[in-house]
Structure 1
Amino acid sequence: MIQHEHMSTEEEVRAKRLQRSASAVLYAALVALALWTMRSFIPAVVWAAVIAIALWPAFGWLTRRPWLGRHTSLLAIGLTVAVGLLFVGPFVIVATQAASEARDTLRWFHDVLRSGIALPEWVQRLPMGSQQVASWWSANLATPLESSPAVQKLHSATFVEMTRHFGGRLVHGLIIFGFMLVTLFFIFQAGSRLGEQLFAASRRAFGAEGAMLARRMADSVRSTVVGLVVVGLGEGALLGIAYAITGVPHATLLGMLTAVAAMLPFCAPIVFLGSALWLLAQGAMGAAIGVAAFGLVVVFIAEHFVRPVLIGGSARLPFLLVLFGILGGAETFGLIGLFIGPALMTILVVLWTDWVR
């Protein structure tokens, strides 16, 4: 009798273990199926999560205000609209500027199709390779572009295919951007409840260490956003002033372009060195040297002192891991990898610290 009860108890324990294993497999399969179903919109969700994490301290401060705290939906709408305008505003400015100059651009384009592009004077002043550049320019660009060998290689079918591909990518990007804003609104509307639920789920699944790791990852994403965006805007503002002082045309637009490029590590020199080359081609050697030197100083200070402190400080990451996280994340995951990479490096540091204790 006792043996029979003992065997029955063991069978019940074995059955419960089997049920838990089957439930875990079922849950994992359902989660994987759900993620596969929404795979096209995962980038929108990830972007919304990154922006929400970056703005969460400001959102929490606003919700603690007496009037705003009672109108969470209005606050969520306001923040979502502000984020949308922050992204759309620069593109509207660029499009407006381009439309105002479209007539002159089209006139110039028709002129060069009929007569070609004259050889610039600065080509003759190149320290080396001036003859080769002048020879290629005369053969391909100085003649009417309608009959230029370089232009004839751009077959109309290829141009149409490139335009169609670009248009498709643009429409897809706009759709993702729209769903990102919708997702961001619902994250803000859920408010602190969502954050508490996520940390509670991490604590239940992985214990207190899992919740701590989730908080460290959120801090890493937030500090990365601050380091990339704030430093990029600072570099763009300083170099925009330099463009205006030295007489570079469209200094405001170039400053905005520099700010966007500066959000990617070591990409700002592409813009300000190009501006310096334009000044050099106009014969303003002093202004060109000034823009190049000032830009290199600004980028050196920003990339080697300010950005590592902002990104690695709160996340407590060494500069080398910050660099690996940003560049490796961008190469692996695209633009969103700029923020995911440092978070993954944070996990690596935490796991290493726990292992060597």
Structure 2
Amino acid sequence: MATPQQQTQGMLDVLIRAGLIAVLAVFCYRVFRPFLDLMLWSLILAVTLYPLHRRLKAYMGGSDARAATLLVLIALVLLLVPIFMFAESLAESARNSIAAVRSGAWRVPPPVESVASWPVIGNAVYGFWEQAATNLTGALQKFAPDLKEMSLNLLAKLASMGASMLIFFGAIIVAGIIMAYGEAGSRNAVLIATRLAGPDRGAGLAALCTATIRAVAQGVVGIAFIQMLLIGIGFIAMGIPGAGLLALAVLLLGIMQLPVTLITLPVIGVVFATRGVTSATITFAIYSLIAGLSDNVLKPLLLGRGVDVPMPVVLIGALGGMVVSGIIGLFIGPVLLAVGYNLFWQWVDDQPLPPVDDHPHDA
């Protein structure tokens, strides 16, 4: 039997080891933190695209490297063109807006008399609106500090969006490297899950995480991205002002599980009001409506292949991820929260049932 001194020494050894492990874990996290979003995004893309990689592998002589390289090249080509078009549209919209304000071509219509009768704020709104209609520059000078701060914030967001796109392209390349070692990675994932959950539940835990990632990435983020591409290309082809911003709004609504017709219907109305009813505007309207409703066809095909995840979980993940990590978090947040949600409920459901009394006593 150990003496009190030996017990104290043993406890001290355990605390020292735990402290050293904690220090090492914190140090490793700080070193890895700049690459965390990139690696998470790469892992999500690799898990999502791996079934397609396996199909390509059968046509590439069984080579994982060639199949992964071809898949990465296809993804980059398919994404670079529309993203470049959207970026150009955003830049063109910004240039046109600045030029219109400087030249005085952009004018505010005068207010109607009924605005002044609005309760509480009517007179103030009417006065500012009337001044903006007659002297826009003077009206804007009152809010110059606020407008400057808003402009700086907008530029910061645009810069962050550009950095996110670069990280996204880097994540596609890293995902290709992960897929090239997909079989070994799959075995390692099962080993890690087995170490965490035990030999009886390890394989099931890894399968649940994989199914959840694919379900959300394909059925939520993937569908929103497809809708953004379809609708954005239509807006750009029709010459809609601010097509890039509208396409980004479509992406946000799609991930948040809101109908993108909130954007397509007003745009169609504006097109008919400004350009009249022609064969081009009718074709644009039909195309935009079909693209806006395409999620009703894509969701049963993509989301039904995985596990069910409540839409509020996806919405909270998208909003929270965007607050924490910007545009990158908009994609990563729903996936990670869905994985955590399913793991939590598996842990809740995976518990022994209470014993059944075969001979209940009479009251």
The verdict on a shared fold, with TM-score over 0.5 as the criterion, is: yes
My pick for the range that moved more, 162-171 or 262-271, is 162-171
The TM-score, its normalising length taken from structure 2, stands at 0.68
Q: Name the CA distance, whole Å, in 2 between partners of 1:109 and 1:65.
A: 56
Instruction: Tell me the distance in 2 between the aligned counterparts of 1:64 and 1:213.
Output: 28
Equivalent in the alignment of 1:232: 224
Per-residue Cα deviation, 1:158-206 (whole angstroms, up to 9, x for no partner): 3674366346535643564465345324313333212211212221332
Seen in structure 2, the aligned counterparts of structure 1 residues 291 and 129 have a Cα distance that, compared at 3 Å, is: farther
Give 5+ residue unaligned stretches, structure 1: 1-6
Q: Give the 3 Å change call, closer, same or farther, for CA 110–297 of structure 1 in structure 2.
A: closer
* Code of the aligned partner of 1:46: L
CA contact (8 A) 1:308 1:322 kept: no
1:217 is the counterpart of 2:209: yes
AA partner of residue 119 (structure 1): P
Task: Please point out which of 38, 42, 45 is paired with 2:36.
Answer: 42
CA distance in structure 1 between the partners assigned to 2:257 and 2:246 by the alignment: 16
1:345 equivalent in alignment to 2:341: yes
* DSSP-derived class of the 1:38 partner: helix
Determine if the alignment matches structure 1 residue 88 to structure 2 residue 80. yes
- Is the aligned partner of 1:146 residue 2:140? no
Structure 2 runs not aligned, ≥5 long: 323-329, 354-363
Residues 1:111 and 2:103 aligned together: yes
Query: CA-to-partner distance for each residue in 1:256-314, whole Å, 9 max, x for gaps?
Result: 557524243106244224415524764969x99x969x959965x947x9637843x44
Give, in whole Å, the separation in 1 of the partners of 2:337 and 2:133.
47
Over 3 Å counting, the alpha-carbon distance change for 1:86 and 1:165 in structure 2 is same
1:253 and 1:116 map into 2 onto residues whose CA distance is 20
Q: SS of the residue aligned with 1:337?
A: helix
Shift in alpha-carbon separation, 1:169–1:13, aligned structure 2, 3 A: same
Are residue 199 (structure 1) and residue 187 (structure 2) matched? no
1:3 alignment counterpart: none
Q: Does 1:67 align with 2:61?
A: yes
Contact 1:223 1:310 in 2 (8 A): yes
| Higher relative contact order (CA closer than 8 Å, sequence separation 6+) | 2
Q: What secondary structure is seen at the aligned counterpart in 1 of 2:257?
A: coil
Instruction: Provide TM-score, normalisation by structure 1.
Output: 0.69
1:275 aligns with 2:271: no
Query: In the alignment, which residue of structure 1 is the partner of 2:359?
Result: none
Identical-pair percentage: 17
Give the whole-Å Cα distance in 1 for the aligned partners of 2:205 and 2:58: 26
Alignment of 1:183-194 (within 5 A): 183-194=174-185
Letter in 1 for 2:26: A
Q: CA deviation at 1:343?
A: 1.5
- Root-mean-square deviation (CA, aligned residues, Å) is 4.9
Distance 2:162 2:241 in 1: 28
**Cα shift at 1:213:** 1.3
Instruction: Name the stretch that deviates more: 267-276 or 249-258.
Output: 249-258
Query: What secondary structure sits across from 1:355 in the alignment?
Result: coil
- C-alpha contact (below 8 Å) 2:261/2:292 kept by paired residues: no
Give the distance between the partners of 2:218 and 2:19, measured in 1 at CA. 39
Conserved 8 A contact 1:240-1:254: no
Go from structure 1 to structure 2 and tell me whether the alpha carbon gap of 1:29 and 1:80 turns closer, same or farther (over 3 Å shift): farther
Judged with a 3 Å threshold, the aligned counterparts in structure 2 of structure 1 residues 310 and 136 are, in CA distance, closer, same or farther, namely farther
Separation of aligned partners in 1, 2:226 and 2:236: 16
